[in-house]
Structure 1
Amino acid sequence: MSQQLRNVMTSDVVTVNETQSVQEAAALMSEKNIGAIPVVNNSGQMTGIITDRDITLRATAQGEAAQTPVSQVMTAQRVVQATTEMEVEQAAQLMAQQQIRRLPVVENENIVGMVSLGDLAVDKQHDQKAGQALSSISTPSAPQQ
């Protein structure tokens, strides 16, 4: 039987405003033990997502200061999103295709939840789908020359 994301998503989502600093985002990630935070504007609409990888590659590696606004290092274009009505199988397939581990769930352009591979893996009904998605996401790559 199919299950919708609303039934497996984490609905207590931590967000940051696009004007907050990278340091604030990193501190929230550390405090909440998470690797991605949706970025919202003053209206509460999702404008992007910032990941621990974004902070490492777009801020730290570039010598950007900790006070750099989130908007300068977040992923803003083509942020892959899901809806609460999307079926878990569709979400796992989307995550595999896009090679992402976390999927924001939106309703009326507002963030209402997050689904991670971990959310799918702990549910026995969906752990095989999570494994398949992880296998697709974790394709080996070689360092760039």
Structure 2
Amino acid sequence: MKVRDVMTSNIIAANSNTSIAEVAKKMRDLNIGAVPICDENNYPIGIVTDRDIVIRGVVDGLTSSDDIGEIMSKQVIYVSPDMHVHEAARLMGEKQIRRLPVIENGRIIGMVSIGDLAVQNIYENDAGHALSEISTPSRPMM
């Protein structure tokens, strides 16, 4: 099974000048945890998660009117729609991330999450293994 078979294709994106508050409201209203940040050509230049808003925004003293570009992750790890879901799950586990933008011809066409993989019964082991790797702390807790 390919990523395109399980990805969410109805996604929203923001640009780097969008306010933190506006992105947070989109996350709340759509019940999502990540928003890709794209340039004017819909090319992904970053991604922001709800955790980024808290850790890089609130904790670092930014205000809700500051640009989301100030807190986005600039290294975008992504997959192609033709990648096998086993490989996507492996990548999630290896990189310890729960969501991956799906890029085709340089443009974002969807998102795939660990939840998308988990609902496919035949990939339950892959998704479980990836989630286990994602949830394992990379450094000792204090």
TM range (shorter): over 0.9
Corresponding residue of 1:41: 39
Q: Structure 2 CA distance, aligned partners of 1:72 and 1:109?
A: 23
| Aligned-pair CA distance for 1:17 | 1.2
2:71 matched to 1:73? yes
2:106 matched to 1:115? no
Cα root mean square deviation, aligned: 1.1
Q: Which runs of 5+ in 1 are unaligned?
A: none
Q: Structure 2 CA distance, aligned partners of 1:18 and 1:63?
A: 18
2:13 matched to 1:18? no
| Aligned-pair CA distance for 1:22 | 0.6
Q: Which runs of 4+ in 1 moved over 6 A?
A: none
* TM-score, with length taken from structure 2: 0.95
Q: Name the SS of the counterpart of 2:122 in structure 1.
A: coil
2:48 matched to 1:54? no
Q: Structure 1 CA distance, aligned partners of 2:101 and 2:41?
A: 17
**Amino-acid identity (%):** 43
| Among 17, 30, 33, the residue aligned to 1:32 | 30
* TM-score, with length taken from structure 1: 0.93
